[in-house]
């Protein structure tokens, strides 16, 4: 890292770099689970998916920047938990996407983005922050656990 890291809202001109970061994530995840489409078209669709969710419920798209270069991205989506959750706990924030450039990993940048997610969640009056990861991504799990996330729910898969 060359200088001070800036955490800021994503801008339109960041789009190409963010798509590149999401592609890096797709490639890492494909190495773990062998089911990711790592094409640029599919990667751009991931960002569009995040943008649609943001438009529906609110939230923020945030980047981490080092000396003018975008090196991290987070999509934080505000939504509502299922109807079986107590009413006062339904407003939640979900970190839909979190990725740090391979060249900048293991330098505390994920924690900076997670801090921002927590700040924005509190600012929005929400008391629950959620994040998911692939079961095979033990590095992500370790980071999230260090940040205070706990196992909450499991989604299991069976290929048929």
List of residues 6+ apart from 26 with CB closer than 8 A: 36, 37, 38, 42, 43, 46
pTM: 0.92
Q: Give the whole-number percent of the chain exceeding pLDDT 70.
A: 98
Phi, psi of 110 (to 5 degrees): -60, -40
Average pLDDT, the chain: 93
pLDDT band of residue 54 (cuts 50, 70, 90) is: very high
């Amino acid at each position: 890292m060359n200088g001070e890291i800036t955490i800021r809202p994503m801008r339109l001109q960041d789009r190409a770099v963010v798509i590149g970061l999401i592609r890096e994530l797709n490639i890492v995840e494909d190495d773990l689970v062998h089911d990711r489409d790592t094409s640029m078209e599919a990667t751009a669709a991931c960002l569009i998916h995040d943008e649609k969710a943001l438009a529906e419920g609110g939230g923020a798209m945030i980047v981490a920047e080092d000396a003018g270069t975008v090196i991290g991205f987070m999509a934080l989506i505000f939504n509502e938990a299922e109807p079986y959750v107590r009413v006062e706990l339904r407003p939640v924030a979900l970190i839909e996407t979190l990725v740090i450039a391979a060249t900048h990993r293991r330098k505390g940048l994920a924690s900076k983005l997670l801090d921002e997610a927590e700040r924005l969640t509190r600012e929005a009056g929400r008391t629950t922050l959620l994040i998911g990861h692939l079961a095979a991504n033990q590095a992500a799990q370790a980071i999230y656990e260090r940040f205070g996330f706990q196992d909450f729910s499991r989604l299991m898969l069976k290929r048929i």
